[in-house]
Amino acid sequence: MAAEFGSALKKWRQVRRMSQMELALSAGVSPRHVSFLETGRSRPSRGMVLRLCDELQLPGAARNQLLSSAGLAPAYTARPLDDAALQPLHQAVDWMLSAHMPYPAMAVDRHWRLQKLNPASRLLFAATGVGAGDSLIEALLENERLRAALDNLEEVEQHALARLRTEIAHFGEDPVLARAAARLQENTAEAGGVHGFELPAVIPARYRMNGQTLAFFSTITQFGGTGDLAMSELKIEMLFPADEATGQAMAALAGQ
């Protein structure tokens, strides 16, 4: 059990690019103790595991993994989505999606699967057939209608690849995200990538819809205080108009 914990701790430390010395100093223990934990010569207490998780900035699922590998009870639960305890969180999601009208907003899970969409986002994706239950990353890779609707597909793929790499670094090994990143890497390599110039302040995704080109940039919101795994990984993505014409078009469409 101690050896299993030590192996998992070492892997996460390497993912975070920290030396034993750096982890020890940030956690307030000796490098010798970190070494003994990684080799299985010492068994960690629950407090020590959680302290190391904090210093390594691990997501909920990884914290549970480390606790379980040390023979300790998990810190996070995975409740059914209709659990009454999650109702305040669902209400908050619904409020954010509704309040963001007339602009698109959606709730996506860890694997970019659409959980909820507001009317503006359903309108934006209507012609592509993308809706609740679909994966945005799979749609970007395989849905030809969505790919054809993106006026700057190569830039969007570059941005999605950078975001996937950040999420893989955060979550650790994830086969779904890793496969998507590998496919996007192939696409961007074939396209030659977007390098050699200063990036603009706003990098929009430009959609062609009903004879118009609509440009959006996005912000992402996550819950900061929940002990539920699924809700802790849920992301609220809100699209904002990147130009005045897009804002006016979305306001007009919402009015209709």
Is residue 116 located within the same domain as residue 90? yes
What's the average model confidence in pLDDT over 129-151? 94
The model's pLDDT over 151-197, given as tens digits with 9 standing for 90+, comes to 999 999 999 999 999 999 888 888 999 999 999 999 887 655 545 44
* Three-class HEC string of 97-130: HHHCCCCCEEEECCCCEEEEECHHHHHHHHHHCC
Instruction: Provide the number of structural domains found in the chain.
Output: 2
* C-beta separation of 86 from 231 below 8 A: yes
Instruction: Please report whether residue 78 resides in a domain.
Output: no
Is residue 18 located within the same domain as residue 104? no
CA torsion through residues 165, 166, 171, 177, sign: negative
**150/146 Cα distance (integer angstroms):** 6
Q: Are strands 205-209 and 114-117 parallel, antiparallel or unpaired?
A: unpaired
Among 19, 45, 69, residue at a domain's last position: 69
Residue 48: give its domain's CATH number.
1.10.260.40
Is residue 36 located within the same domain as residue 60? yes
Is residue 54 located within the same domain as residue 96? no
Is residue 57 located within the same domain as residue 8? yes
Given a cut of 80, whether residue 51 has pLDDT beyond it is yes
Q: pTM of whole model > 0.85?
A: no
Question: 90 CB contacts (<8 Å, ≥6 apart)?
Answer: 81
pLDDT number for residue 175:
92
* C-beta separation of 221 from 96 below 8 A: yes
Is residue 112 located within the same domain as residue 161? yes
Is residue 48 located within the same domain as residue 138? no
The model's pLDDT over 78-119, given as tens digits with 9 standing for 90+, comes to 887 778 888 999 999 999 999 999 999 999 999 999 999 999
Is residue 176 located within the same domain as residue 238? yes
What's the average model confidence in pLDDT over 214-234? 86
* CB-CB neighbours of 133 under 10 Å: 8
* C-beta separation of 93 from 107 below 8 A: yes
* C-beta separation of 22 from 12 below 8 A: no
Instruction: Please report whether residue 97 resides in a domain.
Output: yes
Q: Residue 15 to residues 30, 128, 169, 182: CA-CA distances in angstroms?
A: 21, 37, 7, 18
pLDDT number for residue 227:
75
Is residue 19 located within the same domain as residue 100? no
Is residue 159 located within the same domain as residue 213? yes
Decide: helix, strand or coil at residue 64: helix
Instruction: Please report whether residue 251 resides in a domain.
Output: yes
Decide: helix, strand or coil at residue 149: helix
Residue 159: give its domain's CATH number.
3.30.450.20
Instruction: Please report whether residue 137 resides in a domain.
Output: yes
Instruction: Please report whether residue 77 resides in a domain.
Output: no
pLDDT number for residue 84:
86
Kindly state the DSSP code that residue 10 receives in the 8-state scheme.
H
Is residue 27 located within the same domain as residue 126? no
Instruction: Please report whether residue 124 resides in a domain.
Output: yes
Is residue 94 located within the same domain as residue 62? no
Which structural domain, as residue segments, surrounds residue 64? 2-69
